[in-house]
Amino acid sequence: MEQTLSIIKPDATKKGVIGKIIDRFESNGLRIAAAKKVQLSVEDAKKFYEVHASRPFYNDLVDFMTSGPVVVMVLEGENAVLKNRELMGATNPKEAAPGTIRADFAESIDANAVHGSDSLENAKIEAENKLKEDLKKESDQESVTASASSSASESDIKPENEKVS
Ligand code: ADP
Ligand code: MG
């Protein structure tokens, strides 16, 4: 089964449309194989968008991607890479086809709601890269935090220690 990496960007998490975006994937045959809301560090964002390092918008892109939380997901399904790109729409929301995520939820080319791997090759790299490692680490960390800070009334609810993938 094909996998691809999706990121719900800070503009969309701020707007409160995480659920609506995930619904687009799930309603169109893509399963959420892994998901985590994280704050990317400048280092994470720079590394992730390294391919664009020489572009004039690179610094703004890194600033934007670290301006708030993002949701990093591994999507899974038949033709997941291409299907995700179709659901996302064109990079510039003004050029994105009606009904696509970017047409419906994005304002501008720099704040365009979602990232999606652009090829099978990049999907393999991205879905297996450090971000996914971070997902695992962070989820372990959160379980610890949740158990340490749970109140008396919640203390009988056992925090799940499940890995995200
Ligand atoms: P996509 O996200 O559709 O794969 P690219 O890989 O070309 O697009 O670019 C990565 C991200 O960089 C875009 O999603 C967008 O946020 C930003 N970006 C691309 N082109 C521009 C531009 N001309 N001006 C500002 N930001 C841009
Ligand atoms: Mg791209």
**pLDDT tens by residue, 112-141:** 999 999 999 999 999 887 555 655 666 666
In sequence order, what are the beta bridge partners of 128? none
What integer pLDDT is reported at residue 150 of this predicted model?
41
Span from the CA of 67 to the centroid of ligand 2 (angstroms): 19
- What is the atom index within ligand 1 of the atom nearest the CA of 118? 4
The CB of 91 under 6 Å from ligand 1? The reply is yes
pTM confidence score = 0.83
What integer pLDDT is reported at residue 138 of this predicted model?
63
| CB neighbour list of residue 125: distance below 8 Å, 6 or more residues apart | none
**Collapsed DSSP state (helix, strand, coil) of residue 66:** coil
**Residue pointed to by tokens 């033709």:** 79
Span from the CA of 109 to the centroid of ligand 1 (angstroms): 6
What integer pLDDT is reported at residue 128 of this predicted model?
81
What integer pLDDT is reported at residue 140 of this predicted model?
66
**Residues near ion ligand 2 (Cβ under 5 Å):** 118
pLDDT along the chain (165 residues), means of 10: 96 98 98 94 95 97 98 96 98 98 98 98 86 62 50 42 46
Residue 14 half-sphere exposure toward CB, CA atoms < 13 A:
14
What integer pLDDT is reported at residue 133 of this predicted model?
65
Nearest residue CA, atom 27 of ligand 1?
A: 110
What integer pLDDT is reported at residue 127 of this predicted model?
87
Query: 80 with 93: CB under 8 angstroms?
Result: no
What integer pLDDT is reported at residue 131 of this predicted model?
58
